[in-house]
A and B are shown apart, each in its own frame.
Chain A
């Protein structure tokens, strides 16, 4: 009798709680979950993919890159026009566009946003020294004056960090960040913001195509298991994968193959690679670097670590940006690797000891390192011995330019959609000493590699456009691939999964999901 009473109380309690949670009237709002939180919605501060993702729905850039890698005007009314001396870009601006606060969008707003980013932007280094000034000769015309010819500036015009914001609303924040509000021109208006949850509603005054849904609830969970569980238990409509574990990716991929959910993929834009310190033993020897590159079984690593979901890559530039899938870096060839090492006096009792550092807080890095170590034990045991060293990522970034790491696993996503955004941060050098870099980007990537030829080609590429420029950039990559300061491992794409009653997630060329295209398909 007493037990029955207790059971009845328990059932009542659960029912009471359940009543409050079951969605009693399903709205047409889409709930999207991804990992982590958003600390800032200020374009000058935002640096995480998640915050950029949300900003891309709340604001528009001058241009966008479509999934084929072509530049599409957004707030610009046409393609950029380059002057004959290649030192000035003219952009005509779209008319009749309003900011979310009702103020008109014009060229001055772009200048305000650009200057603010240049002044306080956390990632303002992406501008380099390319842009001299911005002029606004008329309300809807923008002139960008360059310090030197720079064709890569066009790629910068797609950068979400340069999303125009309302000068009126940000009047008091021209020199400081405004983290929890955003007033741009985008398809959605920010309704509510907290670090964990963001609610956005359609912008009824939007100049272009209106969103397909009645708004988006954007939620952050702090771990991969919760994200996976939330989609499986149908507590969310869409899951964005920016840091979900590979085993869960694989599970979701299987579910999508069984048509239990839908899977959307962005073009592959995130490269993972090993940086080799080329200015000291043993990697100051090109043959040793080449041998190591040939000992890396990318397909095995992809299969074992990512279940084949991450594409093995022999290039530092994503295929979408160089319009080719051609791999330039050395192929896996353990026999050739052994021959090269033998020529350099290794093997036969002299084992090359390779200290490999990986980011301990990135699970896939550790698995890459372990897989490679095991594979080497199987095939090149008498020549190479890999010693693993896990270090937290922040510590690695701090120490990279100090030359502490002989070989370290890293990844990179270009700040804007251009091959140059991948090659410059890894290969450029401002102060060379033969094949060693004393000062420059390659120092900060831990390779210390330099080539005067590459620097010359970088300068030449800035004066070119289109296919000619691309050819120069590919030439740079060919030179680097022969010298092997890095070993590309794989290239990853963003993935998103949606419930079957929601449309398939669509990405643009920069790996950003189009929230406005998401809708319930039985509407």
Chain B
């Protein structure tokens, strides 16, 4: 036990020690790529009408007249002090912008994964239970359709049907205009509960329902197909056959033995899916006017707001790297076959 623990600890420490290196590479790449891209914040802020004197003055005010090396050293030094600087266009601290928008994206992501599992797992079970029968084909068609549908098209379609024509859900946003949203953690569902306000809870769930259900449905195919394939493979394995011949109930074998084994690859897939949501949710956030971090990143890129882009990319990278680390360690803990 203690030997295993030391092994896992070493493994974790090795992975953790790589995080700063990865973040340095990512932040340097972002810094370089942003500067290589044509146009700068001055052009985005002033448009085509300003004269050269105004442009130079603004460039000076924003610190863009300094050499690239000097800008880079300042940037790295600031990051080491957890200072992401201020937005070039609004002068708002980048950390504030991230703290305001990140919870919105995480909330949408968490609820989407929840719905993806809620839809995907039953479909996977339906398929395996009715293997080769009508139920299996129906589950397969739904699953494949869910990840074949382009997310932006799917989002616009449900918005059109459920918000515009049927008027069941709001067209966009995160909270009703008339109410002041609670500000405790930034997660409106949690904040409403902490505030003990049932109306706010309903309002936040109501606004969250359509984007998270839609995104959840579009992600569910990956879960149902993975479960279907992995469970099928596990059921065919020798140890399951051995258990069956010993007269153990099939249901018990599946739930207690086959399912935990089949879930291991799904945990990896879940980690990757959540990581991909950081960029993949962008189209959802744009379609549903969801004030999340992906929408902020999109706006910051178009405004060439270097500091905001850098800050968001670094924080998002940190989250993704941490999540992958967590998944790696979790799987290493669950699966004794994994060598570390």
* A interface, CB within 8 angstroms of B: 14, 16-21, 27, 29, 31, 37, 39-40, 45, 47, 122-125, 176-177, 179, 192, 195-197, 199, 217, 219-223, 225-226, 229-230, 232-235, 361, 392, 394-401, 410, 412, 415, 425, 439-441, 444-446
Contact = CB atoms under 8 A, between A and B. Distances in A.
Contacts of B303: 394
Interface string B176-213: 11101000000000000000000100110110010000
Contacts of B176: 21
Interface stretch (B136-144, B263-271, B286-294, B327-335): B286-294
Given A229-B163, A235-B171, A123 B50 contact: yes
A394 B177 contact: no
B259 interface: no
Interface in B157-185: 159-160, 163-165, 167-168, 170-173, 176-178, 180
For the complex of A and B, 4 pairs with smallest distance between CB atoms: A20-B202, A394-B39, A125-B54, A229-B164
A223 B170 contact: no
Contacts of B299: 37
Nearest to A401: B52
Contacts of A225: 156, 159-160, 287
Given A21-B170, A177-B91, A398-B40, A410 B287 contact: no
B107 interface: no
B289 A220 contact: yes
Contacts of B205: 17
B47 to A, nearest CB: 6
19 contacts: A17-B206, A47-B47, A122-B46, A125-B51, A197-B177, A217-B177, A222-B285, A222-B287, A223-B289, A226-B288, A229-B163, A229-B171, A392-B39, A392-B302, A395-B37, A397-B48, A400-B48, A401-B52, A441-B51
A213 to B, nearest CB: 14
Contact of A179 (B39, B47, B90, B167): B90
B310 to A, nearest CB: 17
Q: Which of A195, A220, A226 has the most CB of B within 10 A?
A: A226
A179 B170 CA distance: 28
A124 B203 contact: no
B92 interface: yes
B154 to A, nearest CB: 13
Contacts of A125: 46, 49-51, 53-54
B90 A177 contact: yes
Nearest to B101: A195
A156 B336 CA distance: 75
Given A179-B91, A223-B289, A225-B156, 9 more contacts: A20-B203, A199-B177, A222-B295, A223-B287, A226-B172, A235-B163, A394-B44, A395-B43, A398-B40
A222 B52 contact: no
A394 B171 contact: no
B178 to A, nearest CB: 7
A45 B172 CA distance: 28
Given A226-B288, A397-B39, A219 B202 contact: no
B140 to A, nearest CB: 22
A407 B289 CA distance: 35
A318 B105 CA distance: 44
B229 interface: no
Given A16-B202, A125-B54, A394-B39, A412 B177 contact: no
B58 A122 contact: yes
A395 B51 contact: no
Contact of A394 (B50, B167, B302): B302
Contacts of A394: 38-39, 43-44, 302-304
Contacts of A192: 180
B60 to A, nearest CB: 13
Contacts of A440: 51
B277 to A, nearest CB: 18
B45 interface: yes
A64 B21 CA distance: 58
Contact of B291 (A16, A195, A229, A398): A195
A195 B46 CA distance: 20
A47 B171 CA distance: 27
Contacts of B285: 222
B171 A230 contact: yes
Which of A18, A39, A47, A439 has its CB near the most chain B CB atoms (within 10 A)?
A39
B316 interface: no
Given A21-B206, A39-B90, A233-B167, A196 B38 contact: no
Interface in B81-101: 89-92
Given A196-B291, A221-B289, A230-B171, A40 B90 contact: yes
Contacts of B177: 31, 197, 199, 217, 219
Contacts of A31: 177
B38 A124 contact: no
Contacts of A398: 38-40, 43
Contacts of A401: 52
Given A40-B90, A125-B50, A229 B39 contact: no
A122 B43 CA distance: 12
B210 to A, nearest CB: 10
B172 A222 contact: yes
A21 B203 contact: yes
Contacts of B45: 47, 122
B168 A18 contact: yes
By CB atoms of chain B within 10 A, which of A18, A124, A196 has the most?
A196
A124 B57 CA distance: 11
Contacts of B50: 123, 125, 444
A394 B91 CA distance: 20
Contacts of A219: 173, 177
A415 B286 contact: no
B169 to A, nearest CB: 8
A17 B162 CA distance: 14
